[in-house]
Amino acid sequence: MKEIYMDNNATSRVADEVVEAMLPFFSEQYGNASSMHEFGGQVQRHINKARESVAQLLGAADPGEIIFTSCGTESDNTALFSALRSYPERRHIVTTRVEHPAVLNTTRYLQSQGYQATYLAVDGEGMIDLEELRSAVTENTAVVSVMHANNETGVIFPVDKAAEIAAARGAVFHTDAVQSAGKLPLDLKRSNIDMLSLSGHKLHAPKGIGALYVRKGTRFVPFMMGGHQEHGRRAGTENAPYIVGLGKACELARKNVETENTAVKALRDRLEKELLSRISNAKVNGGKSPRLPNTTNISFEFVEGEAILLMLSDLGIAASSGSACTSGSLEPSHVLRAMGVPFTFAHGSIRFSLSVYNTAAEVDFVLEKIPAIIERLRRISPFGKNGKRPQEAGVCREN
């Protein structure tokens, strides 16, 4: 049975070209990039090339603005802690209710340490209100962290405008671009964004490598202390094979951005349109907002998302009910709760996230199988019979 993988917002396959680029650095060019001899120096040159590739993907002004990390979570933590340590007199953080746990849980921890935090609401289509942000940022705000695109719904936030609002108050602006890097064109040299996080395994590089963009002139305090690596900004021996892999993946992503926004988007749109036409009581979450070209989050009323996923898995189809970092919970997604999605819809939400490796034939197969799955589950659903909604099922709102 061939696996049909439509969970690319959770992780993506490593591109063959990336694997090929990495292999020599395990057994042939395995020197320490910090060594003074040529055996290490040649590795450093490949790391420098990778740094240039990441900078080009992001539209950064200088490759020196790129710091290699272990993952998106480390990048997010580094950005938040750096901003707070750089401005110790400021004790306030602004973020959104729909951030990835790497930002949300870090902010909650910082609240336990005495910091204040404001969590911006989103509307029913998953979008923030820039006027609410403008009101929330004060002279006491150290950092504003707003994701570029939501990992569950794909909704794209106006981060360039948000960064302008933060800059007007002297606050550092950080964006988690883990989902958008490689899917949307980026031009950081023309933006007020101070820091940006990305993760390799979301754009066909391996797990265990990420990067943090820090705009030149932005105050910065390292999160990882120790040696002089990354110009003293991130200690630890450089993970040369994975850095090279990320660089290659960024090269490929630059070439594929147009494909993501044409061919991949066309597959996503067809999947979405056909599912809505073939299945009653279904809705797209965030469908009226600008979204990533590869992502659709669809709720099927009166069924459990986990049951849908298990039946899809039996057919070799991989999808998700939300963030892979929170899918162990039986509670509805915090993102859908923040959007006020009704309870009977929120529990039946499925995220399909495609990539350049998906095909029209795969979309056809999914479209063939899902309607029967939903029909079967609705016949045994405890949430509602014959289209009748249970009286206790209200709006699933996060306070």
Q: Identify the CATH number of the domain in which residue 295 sits.
A: 3.90.1150.10
Picking from 196, 223, 253, the residue at the C-terminal end of a domain is 253
Looking at residue 43, which CATH number applies to its domain? 3.40.640.10
Spatial CA neighbour of 234 closest among 12, 41, 77, 5: 77
Write the pLDDT tens digit of every residue in 141-199.
999 999 999 999 999 999 999 999 999 999 999 999 999 999 999 999 999 999 999 99
What confidence score (pLDDT) does residue 390 get? 45
Same domain, 247 and 297: no
CA atoms in the 13 A half-sphere facing the CB of 181: 34
b or e along 182-214 (b: 16 or more beta carbons within 10 Å of the residue's beta carbon)? bbbebebeebbbbbbbbbbbbbbbbebbbbbbb
Strand 210-214 and strand 66-69: the pairing is antiparallel
Based on the fold, state whether residues 128 and 270 are members of the same structural domain. Answer: no
325 catalytic, yes or no?
yes
Domain membership flag for residue 396: no
Given 219, 253, 287, the domain boundary residue is 253
Alpha carbons within 13 A on the beta-carbon side of 84: 21
Do both 101 and 41 map to the same domain?
Answer: yes
Task: Tell me if 397 is assigned to some domain.
Answer: no
The 10s digit of each residue's pLDDT in 25-54 is 999 999 999 988 998 889 999 999 999 999
Structural domain includes residue 328: yes
pLDDT score of 321:
87
- What per-residue confidence (pLDDT) applies to 381? 84
**Structural domain total, the chain:** 2
The DSSP H or E segment spanning 25 is: helix 24-27
Residue 196 shares a structural domain with residue 234:
yes
Query: Roughly how many angstroms between the first and final C-alpha of the chain, as a whole number?
Result: 44
180 domain residue, yes or no:
yes
Same domain, residue pair 140 and 273:
no
Model confidence at 324: pLDDT above 60: no
The domain boundary, picked from 207, 233, 253, lies at 253
297 and 370 co-located in one domain = yes
In a domain, 206, yes or no: yes
Question: What pLDDT is attached to residue 365?
Answer: 97
- Looking at 123-137, 281-295, 373-387, which range is the least confident one? 373-387
- pLDDT by residue (tens digit) across 15-24? 999 999 999 9
Average pLDDT score over the chain: 94
Could you tell me if 152 and 197 lie in one domain?
A: yes
**pLDDT tens column, 91-105:** 999 999 999 999 999
Q: Which band of pLDDT confidence, cut at 50, 70 and 90, is reported for residue 392?
A: very low
pLDDT bin (cut points 50, 70, 90) of residue 398 is low
> Out of 71, 250, 325, 396, which one is annotated catalytic?
325
Give Cβ neighbours of residue 235 (< 8 Å, ≥ 6 apart).
222, 224, 225, 226, 227, 228, 229
Domain that holds residue 340: 4-8+257-387
Predicted confidence at residue 391, as pLDDT, reads 42
Residues 215 and 106 in one domain: yes
Determine the length of the chain.
399
Clarify whether residues 174 and 320 are in a common domain.
no
Categorize the per-residue pLDDT at 2 as very low, low, confident or very high, splitting at 50, 70 and 90: confident
